[in-house]
Structure 1
Amino acid sequence: MTNTTRIKRNYQLIKFQKLVIVSILIGFLSSFLGVVLKKITEHYEEIFFNQASINPFFFVVFPVFGLSIIYFLREYLFKKKENKGIKEIFESTNTKSKNLPSYKIPSHFINGLLTVVFGGSTGIEVSTVVASATIGSVAQRKENVFRQYKTELICAGVAAGVTALFGSPIAGILFAVEVISRKVTRAFIVSNVIAVSIAYGLITILKEEPLFAVSITTWHIKAIPYFILLGILAGLNSVYLTRCVLFFKSQFSKINTHYYKILIGSAVLSIALYIFPQLYGEGYHAIKTIFGNSNEIPLTLTLALTFVGLLLLKPIVTSITLASGGDGGVFAPSLFIGAFLGLLVASILNTFFNAGVIPVNFMIIGMAAVLSASIHAPFTAIFLVCGLTNDYTLFIPLLAVCLLSKYTAKMIYPYTVYTFSPSMAN
């Protein structure tokens, strides 16, 4: 073996060792951030929501207060710099010169927390994803040897953050592939597998329970035509969500005085929360409630109208939350819409057509189907929802329905909130 060959091998070994070490660090920091943000948000969202439930006046106060605090933080602490969500990650991975600045970590952490706790109808998932991606971005800038692994290390942070939130390492890696990277290299496999392993190890040590405690026993072949119907409806609902977000962001961007945006946004949000408290924050409290009572709820006209109202209003209040300055994305809203859509479809089928379908199955499949269509990432949606329930009984129908909902949505409208840019509208 020549000296040149030996030096080259040693250099490759050192580079690999450093990649392993930095992946471990990114995995721990990103997952720790995700767990802390999830725990704090769950704790204070429950407290604030309970207070608002007792005294509905807080449904008026909380949104305007939360959006105002976020505005002043952006104005004076974060130097008037807007948060663009996942598009910031695309801008960084698509160019060598543009990086995610370190202030994105506290900015998204704090603003995501404040948005949800004070009733903003979105979730902390995108806030976690961007903050954890920034951890990977900062790490790759620390040594020249990591510059070529920019996308891989950003994806490692993202994958670890998603794993921490949803308890599924596979969903973390798939989200990084389907949405962020769209390609897989050896460095990607090494860094992301290590990062999600560390993240999964952390949530195992902390004994994190699945978000939804659901008992799934079986599914029936006779339900396949109804699953197909649910997949098509999920695709339509996801397009409605996407178009709402893009429309309201476009309309609010025409308002020059930012505090007018806050006043308009909080007014709409307050009215919606007063009428439908289920829209408060992430909405997981409402999903847990209907999971627990899905087999006992008889479908009445009032209940059907409530479900329809939630399906129509959720995309609007989510869009207005984001357009008026809130921090978040379409993960939690998609899961919320999917759960209520699935329960509505199952209830109609059982009440009027005596179909004998299992409502819980339709709720779970609906959640995955709407998410799949909203972000055009069916495999992420499947494993993410399976991670949320810690059950893979419905894997086959989930696979079919998620693919169907995605392609239904793409046929109607080819963009997501992540891939659309204003220039495409011209």
Structure 2
Amino acid sequence: MNTTAKIKKNYQFIKVKKLVIVSILIGFLSAFLGIVLKNATEYYESIFFHRATINSVFFVVFPIFGLSIIFFLREYLFKKKENKGIKEIFESVNSKSKNLPSYKIPSHFINGLLTVVSGGSTGIEVSTVVATATIGAVAQRKQNVFRQYKTELICAGISAGITVLFSSPIAGILFSFEVISKKITRAFILSNVISVTVAYALCYILHEEPLFAVDVTTWHLKAAPYFILLGVLAALHSVYLTRAVLFFKAQFYKIKEAHFKIILGSLILSLSFILFPQLYGEGYHTMKILFLNPNATTLTFSLALTFIGIILLKPIVTSATLASGGDGGVFAPSLFIGAFLGLFLALLLNRYLDANVIPLNFMIIGMAAVLSSSIHAPFTAIFLVCGLTNDYTLFLPILVVCLISKYTAKMIYPFTVYTYSPTLAK
């Protein structure tokens, strides 16, 4: 081997070694941020929600207080820049000149936390994704040798963040591939596998449990037609959610005075919370109650009205939250809507068609179906929901329904809240 070949081989080895080291660091930092944000949000949201259920006036106070604090933080601390969510990541990975500035880490962490604990009807998933993507972007800028790995290192941070939120390393990698990168390189595989391994190891050390404890026993082939129906309904509702978010953002954008946006958004949230307290925050507290014993739930007229109200209002309160300045996305709302939609459909089928379907199964499949069609990422939705429930019994029906829901939604409306732009829509 000549001298030139040796130098080239040594250089490649050094690059790989540095990529491994930086992937470990990104994985740890992103996972730690995600775990802290998840646990802090869950803890303080439960306190705020409990106070509001005791005294309904807090359903009015908390949203306007939270949105106002977020506005002042953006105005005076975070360079007067609005958070664009995942679109910021797209802009960064598709441009050599645009980068995710480091202040995005505290900005999304703080604003995501404040949004949910004060009642904002969204989740911390997008806040976590952008903050962890920024960790990868900052690491990429530290050394010239990483310049060619910009997308890979951003995705490494995202993968680790998704892993700790949903207890699923596969969902983390699939989300980075399906939604962000859309291509696989050797550097992508190496950096993302290392980062999610570190993230999952940290979850294990800290005893992070799956979000929902369920006991899926089986599923029946006779339910297949009803699964397909659920997939179509999930697609329709995801389009409703997407269009609602885009519509509210467009209308609120016309309001030039920030305090009017905050007042209007808070008013919509407060009225919705008073009618249906289940809409407060990301809604996981309500979903945990639903998961306690859904198979024993009996459909009554008042319960049916509650389901209908929640399913129809959730996209509106989510849209109002995001349009009035809240930080978040459609991950948690999609899971929330899917759980209610699936359970409601199962109860209707059992009551009026004597279908004898299993409500718990419909809840889980509904969660995956609405998420799949909302973000156009079926495989992410499959492993994410299976990770959330720590159960893969329903893998096959979830796979089929997620594909149906995604392509049905795409046929009806080809955009998601992340991919839509006015120029593309023309």
Q: Aligned partners of 1:308 and 1:373: how far apart in 2?
A: 20
Aligned length: 426
Equivalents in 2 of 1:390, 1:425: separation in Å? 39
Q: Does 1:336 align with 2:341?
A: no
How many Å separate the matches in 1 of 2:422 and 2:61? 33
Alpha-carbon offset, residue 302 of structure 1: 1.2
- 1:174 counterpart = 2:174: yes
Question: Which residue of the partner structure matches residue 311 of structure 1?
Answer: 311
CA distance in 2, matches of 1:137, 1:108: 15
Q: Secondary structure at the match of 1:292?
A: coil
Equivalent residue number for residue 411 of structure 1: 411
Shift of 1:425: 3.5
Q: Could you tell me which residue of structure 2 aligns to residue 87 of structure 1?
A: 87
| 2:272 match | 272
Aligned to 2:372: 372
Distance 1:131 1:9 in 2: 35
2: distance between equivalents of 1:250 and 1:152? 33
Any stretches of 5+ residues in structure 1 without a counterpart?
Answer: none
Deviates more, 1:414-423 or 1:331-340: 414-423
- C-alpha offsets along residues 199-219 of structure 1, whole Å, 9 cap, x if unaligned? 000000001111000110000
Instruction: Name the structure 2 match of 1:186.
Output: 186
- Report what 1:31 is aligned to: 31
User: What is the aligned partner in structure 2 of residue 78 from structure 1?
Assistant: 78
Partner of 2:103: 103
- What is the identity, as a one-letter code, of the residue corresponding to 2:411? M
CA distance in 2: counterparts of 1:54 and 1:13, whole angstroms: 62
Q: Could you tell me how far apart the structure 2 residues matched to 1:197 and 1:425 are?
A: 39
Q: C-alpha offsets along residues 96-115 of structure 1, whole Å, 9 cap, x if unaligned? A: 11000000000000000000
Counterpart of 1:117? Answer: 117
Alignment of 1:120-199 (within 5 A): 120-199=120-199
Percent identity reads: 76
- Cα distance, 1:77 vs structure 2: 0.6
Name the structure 2 match of 1:360: 360
Structure 2 residue 423 is matched with structure 1 residue 423: yes
Q: Secondary structure at the match of 2:19?
A: helix
- How far apart are the structure 1 equivalents of 2:393 and 2:177? 25
Aligned-CA RMSD value: 0.5
How far is 1:300 from its partner?
1.1
Matches of 1:55 and 1:250 in 2, distance apart?
Answer: 34
- Cα displacement string for residues 14-45 of structure 1 (whole angstroms, at most 9, x for unaligned residues): 00000000000000000000000000000000
Q: Aligned equivalents of 2:224 and 2:295: distance in 1? A: 20
Matched letter for residue 136 of structure 1: G
**1:281 corresponds to which residue?**
281
Whole-angstrom distance in 2 between the partners of 1:194 and 1:280: 36
Distance 1:296 1:385 in 2: 22
Deviation at 1:181, TM superposition (A): 0.1
Matched, 1:14 2:20: no
SS in 1 for 2:219: coil
Secondary structure of the structure 2 residue equivalent to 1:295: helix
Q: Any idea what SS the aligned residue of 2:296 has?
A: coil
TM-score of the two chains, using structure 1 as the length reference: 1.00
CA distance in 2 between partners of 1:349 and 1:44 (Å):
38
Whether 2:249 is the aligned partner of 1:249: answer yes
Q: Distance in 1 between matches of 2:160 and 2:224?
A: 34
Aligned counterparts of 2:295 and 2:8: Cα–Cα separation in 1: 64
2:226: which partner in 1? Answer: 226
Q: Deviations over 1:347-387 (max 9, x none)?
A: 00001111110000000000000000000000000000000
One-letter amino acid of the structure 1 residue matched with residue 83 of structure 2 = N
Matched residue type, 2:15: K
Q: Which runs of 5+ in 2 are unaligned?
A: none
Output the CA distance in 2 between the equivalents of 1:53 and 1:413.
Answer: 38
Partners in 2 of 1:222 and 1:302 — Cα distance? Answer: 29
Does residue 66 of structure 1 match 2:66?
yes
Amino acid of the structure 2 residue aligned with 1:308: I
Q: CA deviation at 1:293?
A: 3.1
Q: Aligned equivalents of 1:204 and 1:402: distance in 2?
A: 29
Residue type at the aligned position of 1:219: W
CA distance in structure 1 between the partners assigned to 2:154 and 2:255 by the alignment: 34
2: CA distance, partners of 1:286 / 1:272: 15
User: Aligned AA for 1:290?
Assistant: L
Single out whichever of 288-297 and 165-174 deviates more from structure 2.
288-297
The Cα shift of 1:406 comes to 0.1
Partner of residue 290, structure 1:
290
Following the alignment from structure 1 to structure 2, what is the Cα–Cα distance between the partners of residues 323 and 231? Answer: 28
Separation of aligned partners in 1, 2:165 and 2:292: 22
Give, in whole Å, the separation in 1 of the partners of 2:77 and 2:97: 25
Letter in 2 for 1:17: K
**Quick one: distance in 1 between partners of 2:264 and 2:77?**
24
Distance 1:30 1:75 in 2: 26
Q: Distance in 2 between matches of 1:206 and 1:50?
A: 27
1:213 counterpart residue number = 213
Give CA deviations for 1:125-145 in whole Å, capped at 9, x if unaligned: 000000000000000000000
What's the offset of the Cα at 1:424?
A: 2.6
Deviation at 1:271, TM superposition (A): 0.3
1:301 is displaced (CA, Å) by 1.4
Q: Distance in 2 between matches of 1:425 and 1:203?
A: 41
Deviation per CA, 1:51-95, whole angstroms, max 9, x where unpaired?
A: 101111100000000000000000001121110000000000000
Rounded to whole Å, the distance in 2 between the matches of 1:76 and 1:425 is 34
TM-superposed CA distance for 1:296, in Å, is: 2.3
Partner Cα distance (1:72, 1:335) in 2 = 30
Q: Give, in whole Å, the separation in 2 of the partners of 1:131 and 1:393.
A: 33
**C-alpha distance in structure 2 between counterparts of 1:306 and 1:352, whole Å:** 18
Alpha-carbon offset, residue 196 of structure 1: 0.2
Equivalent position amino acid for 1:93 in 2: V
Instruction: Tell me, in whole angstroms, the C-alpha distance in 1 between the residues paired with 2:252 and 2:237.
Output: 22
Q: Per-residue displacement from partner, 1:276-299 (whole Å, max 9, x unpaired)? A: 000000000111111113122211
